[in-house]
């Protein structure tokens, strides 16, 4: 591992390229990655070259790559980009005698993406129960609309995460009730890098993603 690769994988540009590589099953040209990720071509080439040096992408032709193992790519990305380093967290609890939070959220106009175990349960019901964790750009506004009050108790709290990048809202999944879930690759990355404890909470989702790749990779 070299310092250049580490800095690339930690940045927003790398996150956008890697999420594209994770979210889609494809033979990728530089042009396709630029279009899908929104990252300039020069940066895409640098990131792909770094991934190639670590055998995380495989070259099929000049300028064409594929991903031999999405899980290896995701885990390598996790080494440099961690949930607890890319979000500002605040802790809340629901007011007494209010309807379930995840039922109320879709009735409000606040941008959101549920991640962590609450999202993982949608695909892998055997996921251990953990804190309710929700990406939103304005925690104070969200808390007001969702009837949340601040708390010092972190273990069973509702965690509102204000991300540094809006990438977490990309390719969200909508439930029948209108709730937005972060993309499976984002949810798994978050579980593996601090969204909840213990880390084994990610195991059921990892297994589901390995066994049902066609259902989450376009």
Q: Domain-by-domain residue ranges, the chain? A: 3-80, 83-216
Q: What is the pLDDT of residue 144?
A: 96
Average pLDDT along the chain, 218 residues, taken 10 residues at a time: 56 96 96 97 96 96 95 95 86 87 96 97 94 96 96 87 95 97 97 81 96 95
Q: How many CB atoms lie within 10 A of CB 153?
A: 9
Contact (Cβ atoms closer than 8 angstroms) between residue 4 and residue 15: no
- Between CA 8 and CA 4 the distance in angstroms is 6
Which residues lie across from 138 on neighbouring strands? none
b/e map of 11-27 (b: 16 or more CB within 10 Å)?
bebbbbbbbbbbbbebe
Contact (Cβ atoms closer than 8 angstroms) between residue 132 and residue 154: no
Residues constituting the chain: 218
The CATH class, in words, for 3-80 is: mainly alpha
- Between CA 87 and CA 168 the distance in angstroms is 10
Which residues does 134 contact at the CB level (< 8 Å), separation at least 6? 105, 112, 113, 114, 115, 118, 142, 158, 159, 160, 161
Q: What is the pLDDT of residue 82?
A: 84
Residue pLDDT, tens place only, 53-73:
999 999 999 889 999 999 999
Q: What is the pLDDT of residue 4?
A: 42
């Amino acid at each position: 591992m070299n310092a250049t690769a580490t800095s690339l994988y930690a940045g927003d540009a790398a996150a956008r390229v890697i999420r594209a590589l994770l979210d889609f099953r494809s033979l990728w040209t530089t042009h396709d990655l630029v279009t899908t990720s929104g990252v300039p071509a020069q940066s895409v080439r640098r990131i792909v070259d770094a991934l190639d040096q670590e055998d995380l992408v495989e070259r099929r032709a000049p300028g064409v790559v594929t991903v031999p193992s999405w899980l290896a790519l995701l885990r390598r990305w996790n080494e440099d980009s961690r949930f607890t380093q890319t979000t500002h967290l605040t802790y809340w609890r629901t007011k007494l005698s209010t309807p379930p939070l995840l039922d109320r959220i879709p009735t409000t106009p606040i941008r959101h993406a549920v991640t962590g175990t609450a999202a993982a349960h949608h695909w892998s019901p055997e996921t251990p129960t953990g804190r309710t964790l929700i990406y939103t750009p304005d925690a104070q506004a969200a808390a007001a609309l969702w009837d949340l009050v601040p708390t010092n108790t972190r273990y069973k709290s509702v965690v509102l995460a204000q991300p540094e990048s809006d990438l977490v809202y990309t390719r969200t999944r909508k439930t029948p009730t209108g709730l937005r879930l972060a993309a499976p690759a984002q949810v798994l990355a978050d579980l593996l890098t601090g969204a909840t404890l213990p880390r084994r909470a990610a195991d059921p989702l990892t297994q589901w993603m390995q066994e049902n790749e066609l259902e989450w990779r376009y």
